[in-house]
Structure 1
Amino acid sequence: MSLTFTDIFCGAGGSSIGLTAAGLQLRLAANHWQRAIETHSANFRDAEHLCADVNNYDMRRLPSTDVLWASPICTEASPAGGRPSRTCTVPGQGDLLEAFGPISRKGFERTRATFWDVIRATEVHRYRVVLVENVPDVARWELFDHWVAGMLLLGYRVQYVSVSSAHIGDQRNLHAPQWRDRLYLVFTRTGIELPDVDPHPVAWCQTCSVDVHAVQAWKKPDRRRIGKYRQQYVYVCPNAVCRNSVVEPYVLPAAAAIDWSDLGRRIGDRAEPLADNTMTRIRAGLSMFADRHVLLTVNHAGHDGRAHPADAAPLPAQTKRIGNGIISPPMLVPAGGTWNNTASAVTAPMRTRTAREAEALLTPEPFIAVLRKHGTAHSIDQPLRTIAAGGHHHALVVPYRRGNKPTTTGDPLRTMSTRDSGALVQPAVAVEDCRFRMLKPREQLRAQRFPDTYQVLGNVGEQTMQAGNAVSANVAQWLGQQVTTALDQ
């Protein structure tokens, strides 16, 4: 018989997706917001659903299950976060409610219930394991340690798990392409074996020249191990031979979540200009990423296949086969808000998704240059000119040694010498020629590792909020797998 679980702050269903993928059976999902319950029930038809403010609910009416998942409190309703936010605006870009559809005030002001409801439910049902998810900063709440002590008095042991969603995953549980630092508290009833919930993401150790299962190394000793990646902890190689070198775990890039069939509108063609702050951020992003070409080997046996900046290392051995690609990545640009002010490359995970999305996809407009007499450049959305046998549609490789002539990228590279002798020419990118659009709800959901087949109901604003408030499904699945292993034993 499958282990069962209750999800009392289910939201759109990220935690339920993960736990069911780990083999647990959902008995009941609860949330105060009707739209979230409509979404959840559309995907988990066999489970019971409750739309109620759990603060005022008699916990004896909940089913008794093996596991309880709870995601209490968020930035709108946290005792550590001050007064609830009353608005949902994107400065300089208009009001999100007006742009993407109205969201009920109840959905904003009471997105989660409080921690005390976890104790009330646990006191009645004495779950075998209780999983609680929240932001690491909640540990600053002055009553946090007292709340943990309350769970210990009920007969539980606690494990603190601080991890980013970007670092959890394997071949059967794909990573989330998003930086999302969260604190997970695993309460196991006394007498039950503790699950192994120490994260060990796969990383490449440069010194050992091998993939390793990295371990967390905390900058300051803390028995609770609560913090954020790079700020309070890093990952190191477990091998002593390299003296536990700091390593960088593999991650899934933001590009994996983006719908590349829609690049947005050309900025210069917009009827309503973008806000000045957004334009400033775009220019700053272009200065960082638009000229950052990347080389990728795609067909050479024995090569690790890693991408690397074109200006950071020599070309690999050249063969008669076309085996290297050059990439100039698009970027994600903040289009409002205050906490997110810089652009980021799509080759890295997305920033933390929020209920108030204000990030856009920016793509430099590609074009084709005709390199014959009287030839001109034209956009790729226009029909391709007649192709001649000579192949005149290329970019340029320009030599900067005396006596050499420019060649196209369609010709083989000249013999590589010990001195740099060639450069790739790329024209400067004008902001007006870039394409721009806001990220879609489905892209936000992919960043939380929701499958594309998952139905999320409501207007664009409501879908965005559900995605931003969701639990990353890959982390819930990992925790569910570890808990299941411990309970089976």
Structure 2
Amino acid sequence: MITTDAPTSIHLFAGGCGDLAGFKEAGFQPLLGANHAPPAIATLRANFPGVRGVLENIHTLDMRRLPRARVLVGSPICKEASPSGGRAAPKAQLTLDEADEENKENLPADWSLTRATAWDLLRATEAAIDAGRPFDVVAGENVPGFGLSWLLFDTWLDGFYRLGYIPHLTSVDAAHIDAGDEGRAPQHRHRMLFVFVRKGLPAPDLRPRPLSACPNCGPVRGVQRWEKGTRRKIGIYGTSYKYVCPNRRCGHLEAVPITRPIGDCIDFSLPTRRVGDGKAGKTFRPYVDETRRKIDLGRAKYGDKPFIAIMRRNCVAQSLDEPIGTITAEGSHHMLVIPGDSLDNCRIRMLSTTEKARAQRFPDHHRFQGTDTERTRLIGNAVPPNVGTWLGQRLAAVL
């Protein structure tokens, strides 16, 4: 049922409907979601029965048939936004995290097409204008590398400008955004948000102000301060920008954003297995030396406290008292370790799909459809709902 006073939205979404859930929580009335993957559309229908689901490749979607809406939401990824290192652009489209990871080797040739491309958002915007029902706002997210390394990024921005839209960009970390009922995500997920506002409409306030701890003033709303003067505010927290106290009296000291620990998401009732028993299967397969090394280093650092061993290059282990690194769409990288009296007696398991969804800030009642692999892909490709809510709230304020 469409309410007359709620701003409407269309979602060319990827993953498990995180942006759709966030915008709905922000007071929007989503009308339609489109995706090429059956599990994604099944997830939409399971959670949003009043929203029309369109199962189709975004590249071939007839944009002229999209309904009238105030906002178009889509998080694109382009094969042109290739990893650094001078290699040719890969033939297959990359997921968000692969596109932004430096020095990525041996990229597979069959990455799933899970994002509307940047050009498809332009195509949809132009079609709406031609039909006499332009969107007021076009919005979405991407990795920082999309704006920093894609050679056609300026051309893409100029396309929207020529269609009558003013671009606005901001950078956020999902671990800092305390919007919506679920609050901050216990996961560091650095993203660039883009908002194109139709000329004549007010600009939204896209300045992130996370609840932070100032050593002098206590809890404050931190102000983003960039390390270097840049033409565009695109980057990663801790490398490109930090937060400072808004109060002059303390000299704008650095204020560290308050985060949520991944330990809040862990279900300790789930079964584990001994390191010494090896991987699950009919025959004994020991864990590789690198996995054992990371577990052992975690034991030395955290003692008898459970921790997360990180199965990524240049990563070892982290405490359950802090957010984890980015949940990705392909594979599992976070191993729960419950220390024992020896390395072989440590009990381990990978994070479950439910725990990954919690890390993405999805509520437990959000139902993902498909196989375990498909659900992992839906979760990893999703916009965290708290980020979607934060963005939706700022757009609703000017609509």
TM-score category of the 2 structures, normalised to the smaller one? 0.7 to 0.9
Correspondence 1:6 to 2:10: yes
Tell me which residue corresponds to 2:281: none
The whole-number CA distance in structure 1 between the counterparts of 2:373 and 2:257 is: 33
Alignment CA distance shift 1:38-1:171 (3 Å)? closer
Distance in 2, Cα, partners of 1:52 & 1:155? 28
The Cα RMSD (Å) is 2.0
Q: 1:358 aligned to 333, 338, 342, which one?
A: 333
Among 196, 200, 204, the alignment partner of 1:187 is 196
In the alignment, does 2:288 pair up with 1:275? Answer: yes
Deviations 1:271-328 (A, max 9, x none): 53212111111112222222xxxxxxxxxxxxxxxxxxxxxxxxxxxxxxxxxxxxx6
2:345 corresponds in structure 1 to 433
Q: 1:225 aligns with which of 233, 238, 258?
A: 233
**Distance in 1 separating the partners of 2:264 and 2:167:** 35
Mapping of residues 397-416 of structure 1, within 5 Å: none
- Code of the residue aligned with 1:191 in structure 2: it is G
Q: 1:188 to 1:87 in 2, by over 3 A?
A: closer
Matches within 5 A, 1:58-77: 58-73=62-77, 77=79
2:180 and 2:152 mapped to 1: Cα distance?
40
- The structure 1 residue matched to 2:27, chosen from 20, 23, 37, is 23
2:136 maps to 1:128: yes
Say whether the 8 Å CA contact 2:262–2:359 is kept in structure 1.
Answer: yes
Matches within 5 A, 1:11-160: 11-73=15-77, 77=79, 79-81=81-83, 82-83=89-90, 108-125=111-128, 126-139=134-147, 140-160=149-169
Paired residues for 1:177-326 under 5 Å: 177-208=186-217, 210-262=218-270, 264-270=272-278, 271-290=284-303
State the 1:266 CA deviation: 2.4
Distance in 2 between residues matched to 1:263 and 1:188, nearest whole Å: 49
1-structure distance, mates of 2:29, 2:373: 30
Counterparts of 1:333-482 in structure 2, within 5 Å, are: 333-335=309-311, 337-338=312-313, 341-356=315-330, 357-365=332-340, 429-482=341-394
- Distance in 1, Cα, partners of 2:135 & 2:119: 16
Question: Identity of aligned pairs, percent?
Answer: 39
Give CA deviations for 1:156-204 in whole Å, capped at 9, x if unaligned: 1121110100000057451111000000001111111111110000111
For residue 468 of structure 1, report the CA deviation from its aligned partner: 0.8
Tell me how far 1:359 sits from its aligned partner. 1.8
Deviation at 1:433, TM superposition (A): 2.1
The one-letter code sitting in structure 2 at the alignment partner of 1:181 is H
- Between the aligned partners of 2:183 and 2:93, the Cα distance in structure 1 is 36
TM-score (norm 1): 0.71
Q: Contact 1:217–1:235 (CA<8 Å) still a contact in 2?
A: yes
Whether the 8 Å contact between 1:10 and 1:29 is mirrored in structure 2 is no
Q: Distance in 2 between matches of 1:114 and 1:433?
A: 48
Look up the equivalent residue of 1:169 and give its one-letter code. D
Matched position secondary structure for 1:221 = coil
Offset at residue 16 of structure 1 (A): 0.6
The letter for the 2-side match of 1:282 is: I
Question: Can you list the C-alpha shifts for 1:94-132, whole angstroms capped at 9, x where unaligned?
Answer: xxxxxxxxxxx97x3312231001111111222111112
Deviation of 1:329 (Å): 3.5
**Contact 1:204–1:249 (CA under 8 A) maintained in structure 2:** yes
TM-score normalised by L of structure 2: 0.87
Q: Note if contact 1:84-1:109 (Cα within 8 Å) is conserved in structure 2.
A: no
> Per-residue displacement from partner, 1:369-390 (whole Å, max 9, x unpaired)?
xxxxxxxxxxxxxxxxxxxxxx
Q: Secondary structure at the match of 1:431?
A: coil
Which ranges in structure 1 are unaligned for 5 or more consecutive residues?
89-104, 291-327, 366-428
Change (3 A) 1:455 1:54: same
> After the TM superposition, which parts of structure 1 deviate over 6 Å for at least 4 consecutive aligned residues?
85-88
- For residues 341-392 of structure 1, the C-alpha deviation after alignment (integer angstroms, 9 at most, x for no partner) is 3211111101001012222101114xxxxxxxxxxxxxxxxxxxxxxxxxxx
Which letter does structure 2 place at the counterpart of 1:80?
S
Contact 2:80–2:151 (CA under 8 A) maintained in structure 1: no
**Distance in 1, Cα, partners of 2:276 & 2:51:** 50
State the partner residue of 1:417: none
- Return 5+ residue gaps in structure 2 as ranges: 84-88, 96-108, 129-133, 279-283
Aligned length: 365
SS in 2 for 1:432: coil
**Cα distance in 2 for residues equivalent to 1:85 and 1:280:** 34
Deviation at 1:85?
A: 6.5
What's the counterpart of residue 174 of structure 1? 183
State the Cα distance separating 1:41 from its structure 2 match: 1.6
